[in-house]
Amino acid sequence: MFPDFSSARVLVVGGSSGIGLATAKAFAAHGAQVTIASRNADKVAAAVAEASAGARGTVQGAQIDTTRDDDVVRFFADGQPWDHVVVSAAQTPTGQVRKLPLADAYAAFDSKFWGAYRVARAVQIRDGGSLTLVSGFLATRPSKASVLQGAINAAVEAIARGLALELSPVRVNTVSPGLIATPLWDKLDATARQSMYDGAAASLPAKRVGQPEDVANAILYLAGTPFSTGSTVLVDGGGVIAG
């Protein structure tokens, strides 16, 4: 059972889709005053409408591009403290080290690692509040097709552990998802996507593909548990222990 997040100010950066949207909906359902922020105004507006249905709290939208230093500084310039902040924003080109163009590799790190870094550097969070970053299973279970993504995820986990010391008494944690059915995979055609989901469901101990709500659940657990900081919570269907 989650604590009552009533009146908590919650920011979900990357809240317009997938894991971030499920997280925004869950916080709103538990009474929080949620702000959904990402780059695309239309996606933000649609997410606000979706998260508002069934909310006990309030939901509003805002625009931010975490790859832009000036935009992140502008976003947090009012200095108003948040209770809980989640960063799930990322757009990461991926591929083999020998094949992925260097510019794409830099862009991937800039989006996911440096994006989270910029937010952590600029945001104000109340004492005892939380910052939760999102990494991914490739940090601990690398794939030869996505070596860089594993390195980015490991860097995200490392910075969260360090920030848990630097920002204390603000708590900083990471959630590491396994394969989750989100719009991230819309880049695949429907047949390839379904076959990837079916393959994961067959091989994972949990015997199903992950849903964004599974990850949102872990994020609310971390935000609502005052003794949790510096931790990485795997939500991977048992992938890390599967053969």
43 binds ligand NAP (CB under 6 A): yes
- Peptide bond preceding 169 in cis form (omega within 30 of 0): yes
237 binds ligand NAP (CB under 6 A): no
Amino acid identity at 134: V
Instruction: Answer positive or negative: Cα dihedral of 51, 53, 57, 63.
Output: positive
Per CB under 6 A, the list member of 48, 51, 76, 88 interacting with ligand NAP is: 88
Other Cβ atoms closer than 10 A to 234: 21
Binding residue count for ligand NAP, defined by CB under 6 A: 31
Beta bridge partners of 232: 174
12 binds ligand NAP (CB under 6 A): no
CB 33 within 8 A of CB 62: no
Amino acid identity at 79: G
| Nearest distance from C-beta of residue 89 to ligand NAP, angstroms | 3
Per CB under 6 A, the list member of 8, 11, 19, 218 interacting with ligand NAP is: 19
Of the candidates 72, 74, 44, the residue with the CA atom closest to the CA atom of residue 59: 44
| Nearest distance from C-beta of residue 233 to ligand NAP, angstroms | 13
- Stretch in the footprint of ligand NAP (CB under 6 A) among 51-59, 177-185, 199-207, 227-235: 177-185
Other Cβ atoms closer than 10 A to 10: 29
Per CB under 6 A, the list member of 8, 24, 28, 64 interacting with ligand NAP is: 64
35 binds ligand NAP (CB under 6 A): no
**Cβ-based nearer residue to ligand NAP, 132 or 182:** 182
Of the candidates 66, 20, 157, 40, the residue with the CA atom closest to the CA atom of residue 76: 66
| Nearest distance from C-beta of residue 180 to ligand NAP, angstroms | 4
Per CB under 6 A, the list member of 5, 9, 35, 67 interacting with ligand NAP is: 67
